[in-house]
Structure 1
Amino acid sequence: MCGIIGYIGEKDVQQVLTAGLSKLEYRGYDSAGIAVHHGDAVQVNKSKGRLDELHHQLEPSPFSTRMGIGHTRWATHGPPSDQNSHPHTDAGNEFAIVHNGIIENYLEIKRDLAEIGYTFSSETDSEVISHLFHYLYEGNMTETIQKVVERLKGAYALGIVSKHEPDRLYAVREASPLIIGAGEEEALISSDIPAVLEHTRDIYILEDGEMAVLTKNDITLLQTKTGQPLNREIFRVDWNVEQAEKNGYDHFMLKEIHEQPEALKKTLAGRVDQATKRVQFEELQWSLERVEQWDKITIIACGTAYHAGLIGKHVIEELTRTPVDVEVASEFRYRRPIIDEKTLVIVISQSGETADTLAALRQSQHLGANVLAITNVVGSSIAREADEVILTMAGPEIAVASTKAYTTQVLVFYLLGIYLADLKQKITKDYRIQLLEAVLDIPNKMEELLEYSEALQRYSESIKDASSVFFIGRSLDHAVVLEGSLKLKEISYIHSEAYAAGELKHGTLALIEEGTPIIALITQKEVNEKMLGNIKEVKARGGHVLGVSMKENMEMLEYVDEGCYIPDSLSLVTPLLTVIPLQLISYYTSLALGNDVDKPRNLAKSVTVE
């Protein structure tokens, strides 16, 4: 989730681009760079690190040109480095591009270009685009863009400048956000609205399959494939800058909850072969012989990532019949774990810098284990030190309470479970296809679920004064209620606990009294009747129950006080849906209490100390 900016007009382009990047740095802060049309060439300055590093580089010889593009990077392909920073150019600096997205077939394009003599200076997927422009250019930039994007598979928002056209800035979009700002004798492109508000509040929102040609006095929108002109109404922004940074949402947490469908789509991108209906991990390339060397799997994590690991345990054991342990990293490092060369250790960390998890990684390697990391940050300590890495594509997460980082971690476990089961021939073709189709449909079902939050807001206001809230579930639902309870307590400060519903009669029922709020998940068909019986038990003690189940389970309403339904899906994949109502309940409860939702007391985003 990188940020791109472009400008053409009468203002100092360097100042416009760097100021715009400062508004986009929340989208990525591994590196920054700009490319400007300077004389009869395209000149690039870029640097690893935060935007300040680029400022220092530009200070000795500032540009005074009037057109250029800029980029702030969230690294996906290749670690943070000067070479992997954007903008990328062809060898002769005739074309420069900035890219937000993922090019799924970049290796194929890279091989083709290398065979005809092109050389590459970075590890990114994006660099192939600048070389494609050089290879395909025949004098017409619009036609060249059409030829280039015809070769690309994946997601991209592109800003493009060429030494051949010093008075035109180009942009094209497919599955990544891009807006056009229409100013007075100036025009801009950007990944997000805040970067252009200093200059204009008149916005065109580019849609998938569309491109734009910008001069300082004119903006032309075109259908990318046909080149046909488009008529588009200007959108007038009436938000302030702070609201704009949150895309109009009141808080980053709410924004990030709503970003989950897109984050899951990005994490899925390039990892499912649609022709064979198989999971493919370019970053693993494991053989059957290697996988069969591992007689057990140990998952190690902290907090929310630990809860993702509990779901991972269930999924991997169910699909591969391999025993899986889940360990709290802070406990793992202070005992003598039974880990050796026959163990696959999976460590999970959103930031890739979690101190206890990093220590567990090192300890596991010392004991001979192979370590796979699941993280959101390429180039982080955990990503660098693990033997293999699977990157989630959640993008930067600003709110302390994790939402999209969690669901992308869970998604990776589904993909990994299917991948291992297929490799070990533990899953039938029909079930593999059925399960993959269910996983691929989750982002759409998430979007459907997110449309119905008003009832959850009302429910949240009803529990804000509770002294305790309890969450119950069985099987996979138990793993999800652990996460739901953590979310509620960390941002609302209400005492909250999650229990395996079958354990209620072993002590927990003593805590239930008249009016106690209880949130019950009921999505696992094999324990549906047992779960309904557990709900009867708490109702008999005066508990007030909100049930969360699939639409097909209408009988739930006979057992609960209030009901919330998720779209029907396979029971195995429901954790990616049931967590959405729990996230929203936590958010709205915190809001009703007047808390600082994004920055809860006593907590930090990344725990880098013990």
Structure 2
Amino acid sequence: MCGIVGYIGKDEKRNIIIDGLRELEYRGYDSAGMAVMSQDEISYFKAVGKLDNLADKTKDFSSSGLGVAIGHTRWATHGKPTEINAHPHLGEHSFVVHNGIIENYKELKEELEGKGVKFLSQTDTEVIVHLFEENLKHIKDPFKAYEATIARLHGAYATLLITKTAPNKIFFAKVAAPLAIGKNDKNEIYFASSDAPLIGVAKEVSYLDDKAYGVVGIDSIEIYKDGKKITPHFSTLPKDRSYAQKEGYRFFMEKEIYEQNTVVSEAIMGRVKNGKICLENLTDEYLKNIDNIVLCACGTSYHAALTASYLFERLADVRVKVEFASEFRYRKPKLNTNSLFIVISQSGETADTLEALKIAKEAGLKTLAICNVDNSSIVRLADTTLLTRAGIEKGVASTKAFATQIVLLWMLVLQMASAKKSISQSELDTEISALLHIPQILNIDNSLQERIHRLAKHYLHGHGFFFIGRDIFYPLALEGALKLKEISYLHAEGYPAGEMKHGPIALADDRLFTIALMPQTTLYEKTKSNVEELAARDAYILAISPNEFELSDDFIKTSKQEHPMSEFFEMMIILQIFALEISIRLGNNVDMPRNLAKSVTVE
């Protein structure tokens, strides 16, 4: 979602802020801005649209000597994407940037307006800077005024504030939204809402805990929590930014699709030993006593959870419930304290999933996080964590994070099944053999993308798409539909193939595209019968299968495989490339689709 960057030092501040914000572009945004304070004067700039617009606005601006700067990329929540609503927001002598949502901003705004304060924007963020300046009228110390300000804020936020009343300092606070502090040997201090902007400029990083706040100057870092000063823990950052390069691919998403064989190998590495699955921090004794699992996630991670639910019940013989995190947190759910509550999140900062995890912990459940980002909020809160090892994923539409989530969940199923003795050793051997074969399945032949590129021209019109499949291929159909709608903006729905005749088939005609997942290993004849029903009603059929299907209008032939998961991953690749090629033909920005954010840190 929104991105934050901050800097204290003597280097050119405009370049540091622009470069830092570029590292956060993948999160999604619709406006950007910065404020620079040098020699007790503050200059600020805002622009709607892409970061290039802000860079162009500031091309003639420079700042020399010691100073501070804050920058922000905004994804509109309160108020439209306009320059007035863009961050930073200003008062009489102060500026603020903020990620998250201030839930009580209306009450605070009314209170401040009653005191004569004039608001310029429609945002919740602007209350922070005005409340700070109002507090400063009565509390003459800027830090104590800031402390009083954040004490009034309810909601999720990460925020930076600079003010002429405290030159060369940045005030900061974090509640349920990510924020990190970086430093280097040149006595420079950096802030960012992820560590991506810090790599290459900072040497060490401290990931702030929830409810941490404080003030930073050129020679001091003061961090407080619950009114008490705490000592920050800094860890070493990698020096290499090579992850940010496209390496000859047109888009990061395309590069990440091709990286999946490598990252899945990384996810498996060291976790298969002597014919067994051995996941870190999870013993067989721990797993065999679990009789109920709740999987909780959003978006693509939800589809990974739904896929895993079939495997848990089939192989590990354990009851499973799959929950949308955004619904779970408001349902007053009935929870079994012997349940294992598993949350799945690419970023580890997904607001709905984080809140669901808090509910589970408060209810006394065992909790496990499956995540791609170490030191994220969800990782720090969960009892145990399994990292997916996908590396930084720049494309907003998830690909390699999904693949590694599925692989890791599959391994968890197999370790639990072995611990519970719900499968034989020969069955476990077969599963592990199939697991170890997945990186080869994900090694893409260039001819596949060329074939899909040619097919894609058939799918730029029409009134929608049905993606259909059965068993584990139903959640894969959901994921295929999501990928297409995310980056092409075409209407797409995923359905269980057997459900088509229960209503959706009413939409079938020659302008309805049906993407049929027809694996040989899983209910092939049943799925074939469902697709035949659609073909009889003139739906346009793209069949994806190892078996020729005579009624298809288009056909993508997959390889013959012995295991359903091998077919699953091969079809996953096809669906990802299918969405990619259609989006490219439509002229869309594949990596940064409209209205979407990489890390959804607000409701």
TM-score by length of 2: 0.62
1:254, 1:59 → 2: CA distance?
36
1:52, 1:370 → 2: CA distance?
31
2:389 aligned residue: 393
Q: Quick check: 1:340–1:368 contact (8 Å CA) kept in 2?
A: no
CA 1:525–1:23 in structure 2 vs 1: closer, same or farther (change >3 Å)? same
Query: Match for 1:457: what amino acid?
Result: H
Q: Quick check: 1:350–1:377 contact (8 Å CA) kept in 2?
A: yes
Unaligned 5+ segments in structure 2 are 1-15, 28-177, 190-198, 209-232
2:289, 2:341 → 1: CA distance?
13
Superposed, which structure 2 residues align to 1:518-529 within 5 Å? Answer: 518-523=514-519, 525-529=521-525
Q: Quick check: 1:316–1:417 contact (8 Å CA) kept in 2?
A: yes
Deviation, 1:596, is 1.3
1:254 aligned residue: 254
Whether 1:465 aligns to 2:458 is no
Q: Which has the higher contact order (CA 8 A, sep 6+)?
A: 2
1:561 aligned residue: 553
1:279 aligned residue: 277
CA 1:415–1:292 in structure 2 vs 1: closer, same or farther (change >3 Å)? closer
2:468, 2:575 → 1: CA distance?
12
2:427 aligned residue: 431
1:590 aligned residue: 583
1:532 aligned residue: 528
Kindly provide the CA deviation profile for residues 550-569 of structure 1, in whole angstroms up to 9, marking residues without a partner as x.
3xxx3x33232222133333
Superposed, which structure 2 residues align to 1:290-309 within 5 Å? Answer: 290-309=286-305
Q: Quick check: 1:24–1:72 contact (8 Å CA) kept in 2?
A: no
CA 1:417–1:367 in structure 2 vs 1: closer, same or farther (change >3 Å)? same
2:482, 2:22 → 1: CA distance?
30
Kindly provide the CA deviation profile for residues 371-403 of structure 1, in whole angstroms up to 9, marking residues without a partner as x.
100000111110000010000111111111011
CA 1:432–1:451 in structure 2 vs 1: closer, same or farther (change >3 Å)? farther
Task: Select the residue among 369, 375, 384 that pairs with 1:373.
Answer: 369
- Percent of aligned pairs with the same amino acid: 38
Deviation, 1:574, is 2.7
Deviation, 1:417, is 0.7
Deviation, 1:474, is 0.9
Kindly provide the CA deviation profile for residues 260-289 of structure 1, in whole angstroms up to 9, marking residues without a partner as x.
11111111111111xx111111232x243x
Query: Match for 2:260: what amino acid?
Result: Q
Deviates more, 1:563-572 or 1:300-309: 563-572
2:182 aligned residue: 53
| SS class of match (2:448) | coil
CA 1:526–1:55 in structure 2 vs 1: closer, same or farther (change >3 Å)? closer
| SS class of match (1:299) | strand
Task: Select the residue among 455, 471, 475 that pairs with 2:451.
Answer: 455
Q: Quick check: 2:464–2:511 contact (8 Å CA) kept in 1?
A: no
2:284, 2:269 → 1: CA distance?
22
Superposed, which structure 2 residues align to 1:179-578 within 5 Å? Answer: 192=242, 245-273=245-273, 276-284=274-282, 286-288=283-285, 290-449=286-445, 451-523=447-519, 525-550=521-546, 554=547, 556-569=548-561, 570-578=563-571
1:496, 1:304 → 2: CA distance?
15
Kindly provide the CA deviation profile for residues 24-53 of structure 1, in whole angstroms up to 9, marking residues without a partner as x.
978999xxxxxxxxxxxxxxxxxxx99993
Deviation, 1:23, is 12
How many residue pairs match? The answer is 409
Q: Quick check: 1:294–1:341 contact (8 Å CA) kept in 2?
A: no
Query: Match for 2:262: what amino acid?
Result: E
| SS class of match (2:392) | coil
Deviation, 1:527, is 1.3
2:25, 2:391 → 1: CA distance?
7
Q: Quick check: 2:26–2:598 contact (8 Å CA) kept in 1?
A: no
Deviation, 1:465, is 1.6
Deviation, 1:505, is 1.0
1:580 aligned residue: 573
- Alpha-carbon RMSD across the aligned residues, in angstroms, is 3.6
CA 1:59–1:529 in structure 2 vs 1: closer, same or farther (change >3 Å)? closer
Deviation, 1:579, is 1.0
Query: Match for 2:331: what amino acid?
Result: R
| SS class of match (1:420) | helix
2:462, 2:601 → 1: CA distance?
33
Deviation, 1:535, is 1.1
Kindly provide the CA deviation profile for residues 130-184 of structure 1, in whole angstroms up to 9, marking residues without a partner as x.
xxxxxxxxxxxxxxxxxxxxxxxxxxxx99xxxxxxxxxxxxxxxxxxxxxxxxx
TM-score by length of 1: 0.61
1:51, 1:71 → 2: CA distance?
15
Kindly provide the CA deviation profile for residues 344-387 of structure 1, in whole angstroms up to 9, marking residues without a partner as x.
11000000010110110010111121010000011111000001
Unaligned 5+ segments in structure 1 are 1-17, 30-48, 61-69, 82-121, 128-157, 160-189, 195-244
1:581, 1:253 → 2: CA distance?
14
Deviation, 1:294, is 2.4
Query: Match for 2:491: what amino acid?
Result: H
Deviation, 1:434, is 1.5
| SS class of match (1:53) | strand
| SS class of match (2:442) | helix
